[in-house]
Amino acid sequence: MNGATPVGATPVLDKAAAPAAATPGDDKSGRLPTSGFGARLMRRKPVERLVAEGGQGEGGSLRRSLGMWQLTMISIGATLGTGIFVVLGSAVPDAGPAVVISFVIAGLTALFSALSYAELAGTIPVSGSSYSYAYATLGEIVAWICGWCLILEYGVSVAAVAVGWGQYLNELLEGTIGVTIPDWLANPPGSDGGVFNLPALLVVLLCMAFLLGGAKESARANTIMVGVKIVALLLFCAVAFTGIRAGNYSPFMPLGLGGVSAAGATLFFSYIGFDAASTAGEEAKDPKRDLPKAIMLSLLIVTALYVLVAAIAVGAMPWDKFEGSEAALAGIMKDVTGHGYWAVFLAAGAVIAIASVVLTVLYGQTRILFAMSRDGLVPKTFSKVSKKGVPVSNTVIVSVFCGVLAAAVPLAQLADATSIGTLFAFALVNVAVIVLRFTRPAMKRSFQVPLSGVRVPFGDTTVPLAPVFPAVGFALCVYMMFSLDVVTWEVFLGWMLVGLVIYFAYGMRSSRLAREAAGSQTAPAATSEAGAKAAAQPAKAPAKPAAKASAAKASTKGRKRPAKK
């Protein structure tokens, strides 16, 4: 099955993906003692085991069918479109024309974290992304918290993106057939008379249908959609450039640096594409080589397009007119040209672009839950795999939940909640790189963060500069987290509290590592009891089968074989 290990077979490490054997001083097992409450919370899953279990699920295995180009398209598909087509209307009122700087800040923050993701994705190429990285380095409780944040990041971001889909769908319908979906069915609750956002639910269910067809088929559809939205954005730049007015850039920073930071924190959730690529580690043909390349290439392409489109958009329309506009680019096209067909074309591109984001982020969410389920931290149904290599139950449950969430919750609340969950998960990934550098220094890494080979004097010795970039990434993530408002923090802390309750009530006891530790503690007693019973049995008991075999042999000794015809 394309390199996947059959279920029930002894896991064999893929030579191309498995880390090198440990050397003296290289903590290979990574697992802490299981005695004591604190040790149980901090137990770690060895890197070698994470890699060996890659692709294995309940009843089947995922299939390795994705190449570097498809992984890059997954990254771009999950990223490109969200911050431009949907959230730009929410970010510009915070930062003004300086929203361009907000995109750069968010992009730089993502870059430092992307470097850490690239290193870990090439070293631990599994579906769990930062959840699995934390499990191998920081312990089970931290891994659970990270996984719980990823559920917030992915599940809520699917809903956040889907919310804006209805706005562009109405633009497309009005410009083509002159009919629109009623406001109460096309807008999020509490916005312009919205009651239930039906288009948001429909786009999630449509993407669910693609995912049920298989990873390779979904990747092919996503590649086509990514090409369409890149063409649409470049066309917008060409047309809107003619409408730029120098006065629209003044004042450049009307709300000060605080507004720029706040907008950057909101826009950061638009950069989770490379995280989606890392969730495809168990379905990539050559994850050690391709994942780091896909992560870095996609981030470069997306950041360049974001900055270009944002700079032209705020030059073509005064910043104070972006307030409440969730289809800002289509409006700009209409104002600049005076013709509705350009706006219709852009709206069509936005409809496809947002669908692509929903498809790829929804894919990432299902693969993270797949990894958590395999480790026993969430129910087994999320790791059940069909004969086609698709986690069907997982995909349906996640899609229905995200679709209902998109239809019933306003966009602004969803975007901020996604941002803080993303930032927290990225911060943990940066810490995981630093920890793994000290606990597994001899491990082969297909990609390393910059300055990894540089050492500087420190007292009587020298120390590596490798942790510098991850440390900067961690600091930037924390800074942007504190740029979010109090309400977002309250939602985040409430989410964390619910997650901890679920972990202590279910995950801690059902964890595979916990069950294996309990089994290893009872095994000696069981073995002793079995040995005592065997010693008490009469010596003649095992002789019965031998006696029967001798009798059977004697009874057939004198028989003649039938003559051949």
Each residue of 428-470: pLDDT tens digit? 999 999 888 888 877 888 888 887 767 777 677 776 666 888 9
CA separation for the pair 73, 9 (Å, rounded)? 33
Which range, 77-86, 97-106, 412-421, 433-442, is most confident? 97-106
Dihedral sign, CA of 11, 17, 21, 27? negative
Residue whose entry in the numeric block shows the structure tokens 């909101």: 266
Is residue 161 a contact partner of residue 86, using CB atoms and an 8 Å limit? yes
Is residue 420 a contact partner of residue 481, using CB atoms and an 8 Å limit? yes
Considering the chain, what is the average pLDDT of its residues?
78
Per-residue CA distances from 99 to 168, 334, 376, 452, 491 (Å) = 22, 22, 43, 33, 25
CA separation for the pair 564, 131 (Å, rounded)? 68
What confidence score (pLDDT) does residue 399 get? 92
Residue 553 has pLDDT above 50, yes or no: no
CA separation for the pair 268, 272 (Å, rounded)? 8
Q: Which helix (H) or strand (E) holds 222?
A: helix 215-240
Of residues 540 and 87, more confidently modeled: 87
What confidence score (pLDDT) does residue 47 get? 83
Which range, 60-64, 381-385, 462-466, is most confident? 381-385
Query: What percentage of the chain reaches a pLDDT higher than 90?
Result: 12
Residue whose entry in the numeric block shows the structure tokens 């506009």: 325
What confidence score (pLDDT) does residue 208 get? 93
Model confidence over 286-301: pLDDT tens digits? 888 898 999 999 999 9
Instruction: Identify the DSSP state of 82.
Output: I
Q: Please report, as a single letter, which amino acid is at residue 448.
A: Q
Task: Give Cα 276 to chain centroid, integer Å.
Answer: 4
Average pLDDT over residues 115-137: 87
Residue 271 has pLDDT above 80, yes or no: no
Model confidence over 346-366: pLDDT tens digits? 778 878 888 888 898 889 899
CB burial of 219-228 (b: ≥16 within 10 Å; e: otherwise) equals bebbbebbeb
CA-based max dimension of the chain = 111
Burial class, 524, CB count within 10 angstroms (exposed 0-12 / middle 13-18 / buried 19+): exposed
Q: Where are the beta strands (DSSP E) in 351-504?
A: 455-458, 461-464
What superfamily would CATH give domain 64-518?
Answer: Amino acid/polyamine transporter I (1.20.1740.10)
CA separation for the pair 136, 143 (Å, rounded)? 8
Is residue 440 a contact partner of residue 133, using CB atoms and an 8 Å limit? no
